[in-house]
Structure 1
Amino acid sequence: MVENLLLTGVESPLYSVSQIAVKRALIVAPHPDDETLGCGGAIALLRSIGCDVSVLVVSDGTLSHPNSRKYPPLALRELRESETISALDILGVDATAINFLRLPDGGVAHQNLDLSQYLAQIAPEIVFLPLRCDPHSDHRASFQLVSKALTSLNMTPRLIEYPIWDWDDSQSTNWDNHKLISWRLDISFVLKLKQQAIASYRSQITNLIDDDPQGFRLTSEMLVNFTRPVEVYLEEYL
């Protein structure tokens, strides 16, 4: 579904960093790596103009290799968090600006967590969220957790949604009924930084964890969608 935005003749508007320039932004990542895959270019661009960027990582990511003996859940959580810190350092975000909620991977929808205090403290002017109808339940639940807290606070930051699993043709969803419009962000200036940051996630893109035949690994076909000189975003229209 999302891929059509880039590969068909109908192109969405192309924006520069000036269209998202704010003082404070929040990036919400359902799993460690989603922030870099979906928003790595935006993060680097925002940091280049002095924007304070905070990152909220919702789940612990430990279901990526559930059968590994080399990396049992605690060790895998620590590994994935260290990869996130390394990736975001490349993009210009200090480790002190990253908050790991460590909710159960695959079970975010079952957590009754109030993020109001955190959001009130961050007071973001823009929030980058996973696509509300992303095929992965953790992504949809992360969107709902943040949206619920913003509503309770009566906060109205600009909400920008990014696709992850909707790039997969076998899983893509129909978001035509969600009143969303798409646009593209030019990240050519920081593309190499984003590619370097993605490379930090060795547990997800290499055979670093080689003792779990059912372990997750991003395919080269999927990675192509995140290493283009543009990032695709969606926003709700009235």
Structure 2
Amino acid sequence: MHSGIEKADAITQRAVLLTDIQILGSTVVLAPHPDDESLGCGGTIIRLRQLGLPVHVVFVSDGTMSHPNSPAYPAERLRALREAEASEALNRLGVEADACTFMRLPDTAVPMPDAPGFADAVATLTGLIGKIKPATVLVPWERDPHRDHRATWQLLQAVRTQDRQTPFRVLEYLIWLWELGRPDDMPRPDERRVWQVPIDTVIDQRDDAIAAHISQVTRLIDDDPTAFYLSPELLTHFERPYELFLE
């Protein structure tokens, strides 16, 4: 398997349709960067909100390494821009303005276990989840091929280990598995159950939320040749009328 389509097909073939998403209940979404919430589970967020279920989104990193060498957008200005874009995306997803948290951990350096800052990040996240008491937490797939995504998964694992008084269901969403995943990044058949959530009725609204991250999907910031850019080609991976989750 090499192409993103082949990888997606291999996982989709194992998927069980999750038609009654009401069973997810109140939900916390862990997004390593502003835009991961829309790309990975935006349609599911919309459907949860349509049912009146509370959704709280936690943005783990500050997103400032998308344009690390931009003279016009040094880190502080870029962080403010990306947070404003994230807030607008959540508005388009139907998430209430105060139902989000910006942890502002360093982009591309979200701490892994045994790294400085990991324990503090776990404590922050434990407190937040303990306060919200969600029924479900959405987090990137354990081996999604971006270190911040894997670090975010590790943070949640530590929360689960430390706080056994707040049980919650965990569903893992997929971002870069299609584009960058190696064979050993793929979930093994016996490793996770695969759920498929239809988003065909809300995909246009979900696309509007992705588009709110203007700095990531356009050349708004054009003075950094090293910048990351969600090109139309990359975004084709998110055109499917469903979202997949591993459990």
- SS at the partner of 1:57? strand
Q: Alignment partner for residue 216 of structure 2, among 175, 190, 204?
A: 204
Alignment of 1:174-213 (within 5 A): 174-176=186-188, 179-213=191-225
Deviation at 1:22, TM superposition (A): 4.0
Task: For residue 108 of structure 1, report the CA deviation from its aligned partner.
Answer: 0.6
Q: Is the 8 A contact 1:167 1:222 kept in 2?
A: no
Query: Structure 1 counterpart of 2:155, which letter?
Result: L
Runs of 4+ in 1 over 6 A off after TM superposition: none
Q: Unpaired runs of 5+ in structure 1?
A: none
Counterpart in 2 of 1:145? 155
Residue 60 (structure 1) aligned with residue 71 (structure 2): no
The match for 2:176 among 165, 175, 183 is 165
Counterpart of 2:18 (choices 10, 15, 40) is 15
Q: CA deviation at 1:228?
A: 2.0
Partner of 1:39: 41
- Bigger Cα displacement from structure 2, 164-173 vs 35-44: 164-173
* TM-score, reference length from structure 1: 0.92
Shift of 1:92: 0.5
Q: CA deviation at 1:170?
A: 5.8
Residues 11 and 221 of structure 1: is their aligned pair in 2 closer, same or farther, counting only changes over 3 Å?
A: farther
The whole-number CA distance in structure 1 between the counterparts of 2:236 and 2:224 is 25
Counting only pairs closer than 5 Å after superposition, residues 99-138 of structure 1 correspond to structure 2 as 99-109=101-111, 110=115, 111-112=117-118, 113=121, 114=123, 115-138=125-148
Q: Any conservation in 2 of the 1:28–1:55 contact (CA below 8 Å)?
A: yes
Tell me whether 224-233 or 175-184 shows the greater mean CA deviation: 175-184
Deviations 1:88-144 (A, max 9, x none): 101111220010000000111243221211110010100000011111111011011
Asked whether the 8 Å contact 2:145–2:181 carries over to 1, the reply is no
CA pair 136-20 structure 1, distance change in 2 beyond 3 A? farther
SS at match of 1:135: coil
In structure 1, how many angstroms separate the alpha carbons of the residues matched to 2:171 and 2:22? 10
> What CA distance in whole angstroms lies between the structure 1 residues aligned with 2:44 and 2:235?
17
Aligned residues: 234
What secondary structure, in the 3-state scheme, does the structure 1 residue paired with 2:82 have?
Answer: helix
Q: Which of 81, 84, 95 is 2:83 aligned to?
A: 81
| Percent identity of paired positions between Structure 1 and Structure 2 | 41
How far is the alpha carbon of 1:227 from its aligned partner?
2.7
Q: Which whole-Å CA distance do the structure 2 matches of 1:141 and 1:132 have between them?
A: 9
Give the superposition deviation at 1:169.
4.4
1:64 Cα shift? 0.4
Read off the aligned partner of 2:174 and give its amino acid letter.
Answer: P
What SS does the aligned partner of 2:228 have? coil
1:39-77 Cα shifts (integer Å, max 9, x gaps): 100100000000000000000000000000111000100
SS in 1 for 2:88: helix
Distance change in 2, residues 1:178/1:139 (3 Å): farther
Higher mean C-alpha deviation, range 106-115 or range 6-15:
6-15
Cα distance in 2 for residues equivalent to 1:160 and 1:23: 12
TM-score, normalised to structure 2's length? 0.88
Instruction: Return 192-201 or 109-118, whichever deviates more.
Output: 109-118
Q: Contact conserved, 2:27 with 2:136, CA < 8 A, in 1?
A: yes
